[in-house]
A and B are shown apart, each in its own frame.
Chain A
Amino acid sequence: MPRPGFVLDVDKSTPPILFHHGEGFRLEKLPAGRSRVIYPGEPLDALDDVEGAIADALANPMEMAPLADLLTPGMKLTIAFDDVSLPLPPMKRPDIRQRVIEQVLDLAAAAGVDDVHLIAALALHRRMTEDELRHAVGDRVYDAFAPQGALYNHDAEDPDNLAFLGTTKHGEEVEINKRAAESDLLVYVNINIVSMDGGHKSTATGLASYRSIKHHHNVHTMEHSKSFMDRHNSELHHSNWRMGKVIADAGVKVFQIETTINNDTFGQDGPMSVLAKREWEWTTKDRVSFIGMQQGLKRLSSPTRRKIFQGHRAPYGVTSVQAGAIEPVHEKTLEHCFDQHIVPVEGQTDILTMGLPYICPYNVNSIMNPILVMCLGLGYFFNMYRGKPLVREGGVLIMTHPTPWEFHPVHHPSYIDFFEQVLADTKDPKEIEAKWEKQFAEDEWYRHLYRTSYAYHGVHPFYMWYWGSHALKHLGRVIVVGGDNRAVARLGFKSASTLNDAFEMAEDVVGPQPTITHLKNPPILMADVK
């Protein structure tokens, strides 16, 4: 029986706590008597028969006819699927997308459907490489469809292949992939690693254009999403739900298949398994493998370390598969997500600490540049709450990460200019949005790289900054421990060499003897703050 997540009150017997630190780790002693650590739940039991669960979901969908009944010869079928940003880290083969897509295609083949397209729903993310596509959909699917040009990446900047479907009552324009919009049936295959994913967001964002996405990927929306991990209190999701209605009203029939995975990020054995254990339960073997890993990593170059970490494939177990109409499916998916992630927490804290790992949704097989560090900490991790933020308004966020001034030139070209040019000018999200966004979003060179190379869209670094805007507005100070001083300063944050230094600096903002809460993530947890 897996143990749920819990809050540990730190006392003198509490051993040092593991903090992720990019492609490395730190062990930090937290002050006794006024610190607490939020531990994630242990991996929920995985489904014994994943294939059976998929078949059952397709045969008994929610509020829709069985998939087999929706498939007819001569129909136009499009299967869209989540891109490389999910899950994190990538899962061991076979990927759940492959298993679902193969069963969908089996049914389509039995029904005699010839016109099938598969689209990676990547919105404004970089295109997936052949290897990444093969990993997601499997070799059988890739080899059957990619050579005919029927398996490809969505292009949010291709005017010929986008369909404008209308506007919401809030004036939000809805423009999505034309093939998906004009299909008789759109099957969306999703992986919900966190509660932010899925629902109407899958199609309304994943298959949309910049024209459409900009209506919810902006500072106003993000500042009013409290949090964007809590769908019912997220303006980001409200906007996507409004767009979903427009899509449905336009006659796009979506058969949504959502899947959830457990917290088995680092496996039950092997050197990484120690990362998921509670420190006082580390065995001699765990300690030896941790020491060995630490010592080994210290001696490796940064690219080698990155290669090793990026090579990790998580042995996630699939905990649920549900299919049918988007909204009931997504509500069920959220239940499964919360079962795994929710940890009840009493009250807010003065200082929130977090150890940032080597990966976020936008640096799979890539470099975690400083903007992504900000996005992961102030965007994703800060928003892992329901109710109230873990840290009080005006509190301090302390993150550990090396934050190197380093960018992937192919994946993140516009990030480089954003960091050099925009952040040198201002850190204020609203000012950035007003003054700089249009220029980057419409830049022909960035557009060309997004469409033909493997670059994130020119506007993407802006979205990363907006992702953290709720936290920026809420926090009194952000301190990065162990980061590159210049890069941290460019982000507008303070640098500290040690966690104790950071605590001292934080006391200038929150006063003496502050309360401290450490968010021990990953594996993923979401605080339900009362």
Chain B
Amino acid sequence: MVEKKGVEKALGAVQAAAGRVPSVRDLVSQSTFPYRAPTTPLSVEPLPDERQLGADYDSGWARKLPARYARYFVTEGLVRPIIAGLAQPERRGLDRLADLDGPVIFAANHHSHIDAGLLITSLPEPYRHQVFAAAAADYFFDTRLKATASALVLNAIPIERSKVTRTSADQARELIDQGWSMVIFPEGGRSPDGWGHPFRGGAAYLALKCDIPVVPVHLAGTGRILPKGKSTPKRSRTVVTFGKPLVAHEGERSTALSRRIEAAVAALADEATTDWYSARRRAAAGETPSLSSPQSGVWRRAWAVSGQRKRRTSTKAWPDLGS
């Protein structure tokens, strides 16, 4: 009886204590400025909304020392283990980067949101922590949360996809001049069906303007992990193949260089799905399969790309229904 009273007393004390602890909702509703956003006095004309998102987002803070330290820990402590678990990447061609010195542009094909993380964590030092990503302003910088996360984790800068602006290019040039390397997906967006899109000229333009090499990179298998339209990632193997750095020829125009970059990535794709020598021979003969899809119906393009996948065959003929 005594014990029961003691327990009741203790329970009562716990309930009373719990009653004294304000709920999160209470805290939010009771909080005042500056914990809450200020209200504008009635007699004052509010400031016009200055657009600070999208292409106007200033990601300069992400290059400052505290953010760089934070990114280092996020990249090494979070992104790399997640990528290792999800994508189990096999990295090829890193030896081709041995002679590089100074900033470069890493130009890769694009299937999935995981591409940037996979590519950045696959980069060797010193590039891995001295790199920024060009990310679509309308997608990665449309909300404050996404913009902050993109800038912090990927060191991303916003790039306009819908129109050509000098702002993005000037910002990228400035960073390259400061010694930062760049990760860019010249297709301008993720592939909806596993096939690539024609490369846009941004990477080539910057390489010419900044007089730096472009490293073509092919990412294989990321479309199976997090394809466009999916939000839940699925574990799958990936291959990251680095190509030989491309340097612009004397007097080469950006369209020509862009075509060479696309061809180099296509050759790497060929190399990833076949073998190096075969791929080189097809490249020499001008027979490298294009990254872009054949001009055919939707189901035929999907069918064709599915043929590239190595399917896991189940040994079980029947589902395990238990005994």
Instruction: Point out residues on A near B: beta carbons under 8 Å.
Output: 8-11, 13-16, 27, 278-282, 284, 286-287, 290-291
Contact = CB atoms under 8 A, between A and B. Distances in A.
A291 B42 contact: no
Nearest to B58: A269
Given A280-B46, A281-B47, A10 B33 contact: no
B29 interface: no
Contacts of B41: 8-11, 13-15, 280
Contact of B34 (A11, A14, A281, A282): A282
A280 B40 contact: yes
B27 interface: no
A287 B37 contact: yes
Which 5 pairs between the two chains have the least Cβ-Cβ distance?
A15-B38, A287-B34, A14-B41, A280-B40, A13-B39
B318 interface: no
Contact of A279 (B38, B46, B47): B38
A264 to B, nearest CB: 19
Contacts of A8: 41, 43-44
Given A9-B43, A13-B39, A280-B39, 4 more contacts: A15-B41, A281-B47, A287-B33, A287-B35
25 contacts: A8-B41, A8-B44, A9-B43, A11-B42, A11-B43, A13-B39, A13-B40, A13-B41, A13-B42, A14-B39, A15-B33, A16-B33, A27-B33, A278-B44, A279-B38, A280-B41, A280-B44, A280-B46, A281-B47, A282-B37, A284-B37, A286-B34, A287-B34, A287-B37, A291-B35
A281 B34 CA distance: 11
B144 to A, nearest CB: 8
A16 B37 CA distance: 11
B30 interface: no
B23 interface: no
Interface in B138-182: 144
A251 to B, nearest CB: 56
B32 interface: yes
Nearest to A13: B39
Nearest to B39: A13
A458 B34 CA distance: 44
Interface in B1-54: 32-35, 37-44, 46-47
A282 B34 CA distance: 9
Contacts of B35: 287, 291
A287 B43 CA distance: 22
Contacts of B33: 15-16, 27, 279, 282, 287
Nearest to B144: A284
A281 B38 CA distance: 7
Nearest to A10: B41
B34 A290 contact: yes
A298 to B, nearest CB: 14
A346 to B, nearest CB: 14
B43 A15 contact: no
Contacts of B44: 8, 278, 280
A383 B144 CA distance: 45
A59 B144 CA distance: 52
Given A15-B33, A16-B32, A16-B33, A280 B43 contact: no
Contacts of B37: 282, 284, 287
A469 B47 CA distance: 41
Interface of B: 32-35, 37-44, 46-47, 144
Contacts of A14: 39, 41
A115 to B, nearest CB: 49
B255 to A, nearest CB: 40
Contacts of B39: 13-15, 280
B43 to A, nearest CB: 5
B147 to A, nearest CB: 12
A344 B47 CA distance: 22
A287 B35 CA distance: 7
A456 B150 CA distance: 55
A238 to B, nearest CB: 40
Nearest to B34: A287
B119 to A, nearest CB: 30
A10 B41 CA distance: 7
Nearest to B52: A283
Nearest to A3: B47
A239 B42 CA distance: 47
A280 B38 contact: yes
A291 B38 contact: no
B242 to A, nearest CB: 38
Contacts of A280: 38-41, 44, 46
A15 B39 CA distance: 6
A500 to B, nearest CB: 15
A281 B39 CA distance: 9
Contacts of B38: 15, 279-282
Contacts of A279: 33, 38
A27 B38 CA distance: 12
A120 B41 CA distance: 47
Contacts of A286: 34
Nearest to B46: A280
Contacts of A290: 34
B158 to A, nearest CB: 18
Nearest to B50: A283
B127 to A, nearest CB: 29
B261 to A, nearest CB: 38
A4 to B, nearest CB: 14
A35 to B, nearest CB: 11
Contacts of A10: 41
A9 B144 CA distance: 33
B115 to A, nearest CB: 30
Nearest to B33: A15
A8 B40 CA distance: 11
Contacts of A15: 33, 38-39, 41
Contacts of A282: 33-34, 37-38
Contacts of A278: 44
A8 B38 CA distance: 15
A41 to B, nearest CB: 15
Contacts of B144: 284
A284 B53 CA distance: 14
Nearest to A288: B34
B217 to A, nearest CB: 35
A456 B42 CA distance: 48
Nearest to A9: B43
B306 to A, nearest CB: 46
B269 to A, nearest CB: 43
A402 B34 CA distance: 22
A291 B46 contact: no
A12 to B, nearest CB: 8
Contacts of A27: 33-34
Nearest to B36: A287
B123 to A, nearest CB: 31
A15 B34 CA distance: 9
A14 B33 CA distance: 10
A9 B39 CA distance: 14
B199 to A, nearest CB: 37
Nearest to B43: A9
B72 to A, nearest CB: 22
A476 to B, nearest CB: 29
A436 B47 CA distance: 55
Contacts of A284: 37, 144
B70 to A, nearest CB: 15
A291 B34 contact: yes
A66 to B, nearest CB: 42
A282 B43 CA distance: 17
